[in-house]
A = this chain, B = another copy of it.
């Protein structure tokens, strides 16, 4: 079945085919994602309130749910040209290995030094910060992909970059930290005693190795206490999903070039930025009633926001200093088991994707990590790319769907997002190679404290 290789291994668009505008899916949503709320007043955050935290143009993008296309500034497109268009790869070797009639494609976002899709939004956010005349930005990073991407973007525009890195990652991934330093960023392990909220968390939980929620709180405080800085975030927010639509727009353009219509579109989901970016143009067709796809979000069984979370207003951070977002959440105090190896550790989920899921436009599945690393290794050996653990969640389900096709004989077309490479995740691979990796599924009892911490107010029943 693999001899008729009329489609190239890698479909590359030309530089001139890099999208000139991001696609704003909210414009086509009948049920718009709920607005961010001020945690004090429970009223929707105004542009003015948000502009103390985010750059002005990013605030506009965050709030805009009517304009379908937002032009991509020339400076950002020029940066995109350094690593985009990214290839859409036909997984011929994987298909042959699986002996499946399915046709598998993946959009590979790992061919840049940050090692992931995160750079697509990092460069946009850095650009608007520079344009606004700011000195620098603050952020948090978990596994380190976002921090690396932002460091690169800030180096390019000459901005200061302060990164709060979840302490357990800071210690286990010194090389990630070092890449950020090479790009000129200042990296602080979180929780730290450089912020009030950090000191408070340290006092309450001595010896904690941190969480993404803690690091967000610290980064927001670091921004608030510095002149000429703004806070930036690598996922969850509407603006981030907007920037990531370059992934989906390029994917669709490449498929269209060869008249390929996918049946199933698969992406891993942590905060939702890669999945949201990949599926936006396809979900838009569904929302406009033009076409149907199966869209599948894949999350770790140890951090199951979609599959076991509730759809409610919740805090985006552990320190509860950020606005409330309506999303699928496990509660802002939820911290995944230390056993969990990869990223995708966020307690919440993009409000846009949460709404789509709630309205039935998406499915979600959770997978256990040993099965994920089995898929990662199988993929690496035939396709030649060592995938990030995060991305490997999507590989797992793509393989599962392809194997179903083998049983049924269906020639389905599967597209998945290969968001990044695993070069800085070799500790996890080593555990897997040594058969020292295990699975962990939280019990209902484990999840209860997280749910108990979700704020209760009228209209926030769950």
Interface residues of A (CB under 8 A from B): 8-10, 12, 14-15, 79, 81-83, 89, 93, 111-113, 115, 152, 155-156, 174-175, 178-179, 181-184, 377, 380-386, 421, 423-424, 426-427, 429-430, 433
Contacts of A156 in B (CB 8 A): 93, 381-382, 384
19 contacts between A and B (CB under 8 A): A8-B15, A10-B15, A12-B12, A82-B89, A82-B93, A82-B383, A82-B384, A93-B156, A155-B380, A155-B381, A174-B430, A175-B423, A178-B433, A179-B429, A181-B430, A182-B377, A183-B380, A183-B381, A184-B381
Which of A12, A182, A433 has the most CB atoms of chain B within a 10 A radius of its CB? A182
Q: Are A433 and B182 in contact (CB under 8 A)?
A: yes
Contacts of A178 in B (CB 8 A): 426, 429-430, 433
Which of A8, A9, A178, A183 has the most CB atoms of chain B within a 10 A radius of its CB? A178
Contact of A429 among B10, B83, B182 (CB under 8 A): B182
Beyond A10-B81, A430-B174, whether A380 also contacts B423 by CB under 8 A is no
Contacts of A89 in B (CB 8 A): 82
Q: Are A113 and B430 in contact (CB under 8 A)?
A: no
Contacts of A423 in B (CB 8 A): 115, 175, 179, 423-424
Q: Are A9 and B426 in contact (CB under 8 A)?
A: no
Contacts of A113 in B (CB 8 A): 380, 384-386, 421
Which of A113, A155, A174, A380 has the most CB atoms of chain B within a 10 A radius of its CB? A113
Cα(A179)–Cα(B421), bound, Å: 12
Q: Are A426 and B82 in contact (CB under 8 A)?
A: no
Cα(A174)–Cα(B174), bound, Å: 13
Contact of A426 among B79, B115, B179 (CB under 8 A): B179
Q: How far is the CB of A104 from chain B (nearest CB, A)?
A: 14
Q: Are B81 and A9 in contact (CB under 8 A)?
A: yes
Beyond A111-B111, A175-B426, A424-B423, whether A380 also contacts B9 by CB under 8 A is no
Cα(A382)–Cα(B158), bound, Å: 10
Which of A93, A174, A386 has the most CB atoms of chain B within a 10 A radius of its CB? A386
CB-nearest residue of chain B to A432: B182
20 additional A-B residue pairs with CB within 8 Å, beyond A12-B12, A423-B424? A82-B89, A93-B156, A112-B384, A113-B384, A152-B384, A155-B380, A156-B381, A156-B384, A174-B426, A174-B430, A175-B423, A175-B426, A178-B426, A178-B430, A178-B433, A179-B386, A181-B430, A181-B433, A182-B429, A183-B380
